[in-house]
Chain A
Amino acid sequence: MTEGLDNLDSYRRRFLTALGIGGVAAAIGGVRIVGLATAKSDDEAVTDEARWGMLIDTSKCGEGCNRCVEACNEENGLTGFDRQQTDAQWIRTLEVRDKQTGHVTSLPMLCQHCEHPPCVDVCPTGASFRRADGIVLVNKHTCIGCRYCMMACPYKARSFIHEELTDQKPWAPRGKGTVESCTFCVHRVDRGDAPACVEACGEAANGAMMFGNLNDPDSEIAIRAKQVSSRQIRADLNLNTAVRYEGI
């Protein structure tokens, strides 16, 4: 929305103040992802300069560790009804066993934020969409709850809300009759923080998850992705996922 010009100054001021605080946080080891070059202020629209992505080192992913899932549930207010079949889940841990050797790999599975998302292709209302910076979201204002996207997603990343909810988080509106999935904690990304799962994984000293701008060749994630071998899950579908895995 176009704001009064005199308001711009106050946004910029607050934004610069936030950056100052962010700089300090980075210096003492907090997970901040956005450098001066790509950070945006509140009144700026996102652009395709950044493409947010995640690199997950499954060898560091502790067996039985659930910190990322807990952090996601806490951050986004995902409360269940003790009904595993239908409770919302934005990120889940999978254990993949090699049938030949018996080797077990744990990995977190979440929305892969595809460049060519099947969920967006099939959505009849345009509610399922891809933001300019590559984050795939559901616009719940236009979602009619048809769940075509859930059928289209090869990663089973989406959930449908079956029941009326209360006590939602102000930054994560969710309600009955709509589909939802991992948002890469878009409210945090927009203010320059990493998603809650990444932060929690780092705090648990696993450090298996890395988040950053895939388009910036100098970003930590882009450098690492260039150095080590990583894979997309179901790369054969040519969706160009933003989430990549090492060690699988």
Chain B
Amino acid sequence: MLWPWVHRFIVTACLAIASVSAAVADGVEIPQPVAVRGEQCVEPVEVMRRNHMKMLMHQRDDTVVKGIRTPRYSLKGCIDCHAEKNDAGDFIAVNAPGQFCSTCHQYAAVRIDCFSCHATVPAGEGHGDNMEGNTQGMIGMDTSESFADGDIPHTVQNTFLQGGGSD
């Protein structure tokens, strides 16, 4: 009878794979990207981690087709807060190795196509389209914002969290 042997082999193989993946999980540090500006992101971190791509997708169509340019969920808004500066005071591209966008995407093995077209650093100071306005969506940047920490507006929940999997 061959079955017991096959069974034993499968169990052993599974155990081996499990232990290997556990070792990998221990060995690769989960990236902890931080914002350079502001206290907190436009949504709680957990929401952003899971849903930022949906927000960006939704916003891009609104912006391109309808001309809605609210900074809150825009890619430009992300870059304005998350681009770091080097010692010389120049911005580093957000998709450069070790920078905000690339750390997580590298960890999650996701290749994004945003930056073949989009700028990777904020606009220079002085342009009418610069970052000054883009702090509007930031919680903690504008004292008139009334969101408490972790308090997601219902409209946003309805828009993005549907079909987003259970958190």
Residues of A participating in the B interface, judged by any CB pair closer than 8 Å = 1-7, 9-11, 13-14, 40, 42-46, 129, 131-133, 137, 139-141, 164-165, 167-171, 173-176, 178, 186-188, 190-191, 193
Contacts and interface: CB of A to CB of B under 8 A. Distances in A.
Contact of A3 (B72, B118, B129, B144): B72
27 contacts: A3-B70, A3-B72, A3-B153, A3-B155, A4-B147, A4-B153, A5-B155, A7-B70, A7-B72, A11-B136, A40-B67, A42-B68, A45-B67, A46-B66, A131-B66, A131-B67, A133-B67, A139-B64, A164-B116, A167-B119, A170-B79, A170-B118, A173-B117, A173-B119, A175-B116, A187-B69, A190-B67
Contacts of A188: 128
B12 to A, nearest CB: 48
A37 B85 CA distance: 41
B97 interface: no
Nearest to B142: A10
Contact of B136 (A14, A165, A193): A14
Interface residues of B, number: 38
Interface of B: 58-62, 64-73, 76, 79, 116-119, 122-123, 128-129, 133, 136-137, 142, 144-147, 153-156, 159
B106 to A, nearest CB: 20
B129 to A, nearest CB: 5
A49 to B, nearest CB: 12
A193 B128 contact: yes
Given A176-B116, A191-B69, 8 more contacts: A3-B155, A5-B155, A141-B60, A167-B119, A170-B119, A174-B117, A190-B67, A191-B129
Given A2-B155, A7-B72, A9-B144, A170 B117 contact: no
Nearest to B67: A46
Contacts of B144: 9-10, 13
